[in-house]
Each structure stands twice: as C-alpha cells, then as structure tokens.
C-alpha cells in the first residue's frame, strides 16, 4: 500500500534524481543536525539512548519541514531527499555510538584512570598526608 502511494506520488512529481546536485547537502545537513541535537541533549543531561531518540526526532522534523517548505515554494516534495536525510542521520548515529564513553562498570578503563594525576597540584591547596607523600616522592623540578 505505502509503495503504491509513493509510486503514484513520484509519477506526479517533477523529475528528481537519486544522485541530484542537492543530495549530498541533504546527507551532511541531516548528519550535522543529528550530532548537534544529540550534543545539546547530552549537555542537558539526557540519557544516551533518549538523546539518540530525541536527535532522530529533531532531524526528522527538520527534514520533513524542509520538504514541506519545498513543496509550498517549488511544488516538489522529494522522498529521495528524505532518504538521503535518513542516511546522513544514520551515519551520524553510527559515529555517535562508536565514540560514546562506556560506563565505569565495563572492562574499558574509566575516564578517571585516563586523567593525569593531580595529587601534587592539590597538595599545596589541601594538606593531606597521602597527597603530601606523592609530592615528597617526586623530585623537585629543575630550574
């Protein structure tokens, strides 16, 4: 049913190539929208999975809104543009999933273990025997 409606709409619409001049723009703008929306939701302390869902919703709203505007302005609602938008958002989601930090309970090293030791810096601010031992065990800097 959906395929028949899409075919009927594509036959009545002006010609729109799968690899038209604006398809890469759709791909990259959707990927950009997806990453910015995800980052904004993460900055607002939204859970990773919920941030991805919210980013997809934002990207879909922007993409469909753009096509509705194109239909009003130029008489063309391009489903192919939406496919390229979905592809860009999908690639952005894959990149986000591959670069997200793992929780501290996993086998990956935690963020805290990858940070530099701040004991010597803090020992001058907060006197603590453990931090003071770290300062004493380090040789003084050369001048």
So what's the pLDDT on residue 96?
92
Q: What does each C-alpha distance from 3 to 8, 30, 36, 115 come to in angstroms?
A: 9, 24, 32, 53
Contacts of 64 (CB under 8 A, 6+ apart): 82
Q: Copy the structure tokens of residue 29.
A: 């703008």
User: pLDDT per residue over 65-79, tens digit each?
Assistant: 999 998 999 888 889
| Residue pair 85/59 in contact by the 8 Å Cβ criterion | yes
Average the pLDDT over 16-34 and give the result: 89
Is-contact 116 58, C-beta < 8 A?
no
* Mean pLDDT of the 5-29 span: 73
- pLDDT tens by residue, 83-93: 999 999 999 99
Is the confidence at residue 112, as pLDDT, over 50?
no
Closest by CA to 91, choosing from 19, 18, 38, 46, is: 38
Average pLDDT over residues 36-55: 93
Cut 0.85: pTM above it: no
How far is CA 78 from each of CA 4, 48, 60, 117, 122, rounded to the nearest angstrom?
Answer: 16, 31, 14, 55, 59
User: Within 13 A of 63's CA, how many CA atoms are on the CB side?
Assistant: 29
Reply yes or no on whether the pLDDT at 113 is more than 60. Answer: no
Give residues with Cβ within 8 angstroms of 92, minimum separation 6: 30, 31, 32, 34, 35, 38
């Amino acid at each position: 049913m959906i395929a028949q409606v899409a075919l009927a709409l594509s036959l009545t619409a002006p010609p729109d190539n799968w690899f038209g001049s604006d398809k890469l723009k759709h791909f990259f703008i959707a990927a950009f929208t997806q990453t910015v929306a995800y980052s904004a939701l993460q900055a607002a302390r939204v859970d990773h999975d919920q941030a991805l869902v919210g980013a997809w919703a934002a990207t879909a709203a922007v993409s469909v809104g753009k096509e509705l505007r194109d239909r009003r302005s130029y008489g063309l609602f391009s489903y192919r543009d939406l496919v390229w938008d979905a592809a860009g958002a999908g690639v952005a989601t894959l990149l986000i999933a591959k670069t997200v930090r793992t929780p501290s309970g996993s086998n990956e090293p935690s963020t805290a273990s990858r940070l530099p030791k701040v004991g010597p810096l803090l020992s001058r601010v907060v006197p603590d025997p453990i931090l003071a031992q770290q300062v004493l065990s380090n040789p003084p800097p050369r001048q």
